[in-house]
Structures are given as C-alpha cells and as structure tokens.
Amino acid sequence: MNWKPNPYAVVGLSILVAPIFAQAKIYISSEQAQQILFPNKVLSKSPIIITDDLQEKMRAASSIRHPFQGDRIWRSSDGGWFVIDEVVGKHEMITYAVALNAKGSVLGIEVLEYVESYGYEVAEAQWRKQFVGKTINDPIKLNQDIQNIGGATLSCKHLTDGVKRITVLYDLTLKNMPVKSQ
C-alpha cells in the first residue's frame, strides 16, 4: 500500500508551524526624539524621585498600573520638559516620549519602540498630533478628545492614559521644579 499525503493536511500543517511575524519596531532613539520635539534646544537630564504618594496620584488620574520611572526626564533650556515613559500595549511595552512646554502643554509625542504584533498605527503622526496642546485641564481620554484606531484600541487607550499621566506629573511636580542656572 502506498501512502499519499493529503494536500489539505500539508497546507494545514504548514499554517500551524508558520512563524508569526510581529510588527516589532524601534522607531527612533531618545536622542532623535529630543531633536524632533525640541529642535535646536539644549536639554539637561533632570531625574526626580517618584514617591509612593506621587505614584499613586499618577495612577489614580491615568489608570496606568505600570510604575513610572523618574530617571528619564530632561529639561529644555526654555523651561520645557522631555519625558520618556512606558505603557503596556496589549501584551508588550510601548516606549514613548512626551514633550511639554514650560506651562505644561503637550508639544508632541513620539513613539520610540513598539513591539506588539498589531496596533502599531499609534506611531503614525496623524494619530499622535491629537495630543498637541493638551494640558492637565483636558480630559485626554480615548473617545472623548482622543480618537480611537480600530484594531489598536488597547494601544490607543494605554498610550492616551500614559500622556495623561505625564500631564499629571507636570502638574504635581515638574511645574514646581526650580530652574537650574547653567
């Protein structure tokens, strides 16, 4: 008896063992984001200690459970702020940067690294520009003042909440930081 493989079984097996290609991508470096968001400005590293109280206030305002790290903060020569943060997309971390002017208004955001297999549309300029001009006084909420992207809902929500958390950080801490003389 000769065995002949069923062509449908072979195709089905190849689908089961086919690799899943992710959209994982490093878009830009921290230094490149600084140049994009603060062109021709001098930035100096300005890390802060994040107390449990501050962490809890930021968590309550934004619903982001992942702790904020206070070691990736820079101040621009004109009093603005450049902050790098991370939020969970659906399963993996999204690393992004937020630029604030001296009064706490969002100048822009840049996605530095996105490793989810889908939802990467949050890195597109058209979606990110919705944040420009937002302050602590704005809702910064998905489907209120920030539009969702179909198929990227969790990434949109978490990134939006992350930007809200940065405006809360500014309001509670950064705006009261003394300017260092150069």
Residue 6 lies inside a defined structural domain of this protein: no
Cross-strand bridge partners of residue 74: 45, 82
Whether 15 maps to a domain, the answer reads: no
On whether residue 51 sits in a domain, the answer given is yes
| 16 part of a folded domain | no
User: Is 111 inside any structural domain?
Assistant: yes
Whether 14 is covered by a domain: the verdict is no
At 101, the amino acid letter reads N
- Residue-wise pLDDT tens digits, 139-168: 999 999 999 999 999 999 999 999 999 999
d(CA 151, CA 116): 12
Domain with 70, as residue range(s), is: 22-176
Q: In which band, very low, low, confident or very high, does the pLDDT at 13 lie, cut at 50, 70 and 90?
A: very low
For the question of whether the overall pTM of this predicted structure is more than 0.95, the answer is no
Q: Is position 1 within any domain?
A: no
Tens of pLDDT along 81-121? Answer: 999 999 999 899 999 999 999 999 999 999 999 998 889 99
Number of domains forming the structure of the chain? 1
Average pLDDT over the chain, rounded to an integer: 90
Query: String of b and e for 12-33 (b: at least 16 CB within 10 Å)?
Result: eeeeeeeeeeeeeeeebebeeb
Bridge partners, residue 96, by sequence: 85, 111
Q: For residue 78, what are the contacts with CB-CB under 8 A and spacing of at least 6?
A: 41, 101, 102
Beta carbons of 127 and 147 less than 8 angstroms apart: yes
Q: 56 lies in a domain?
A: yes
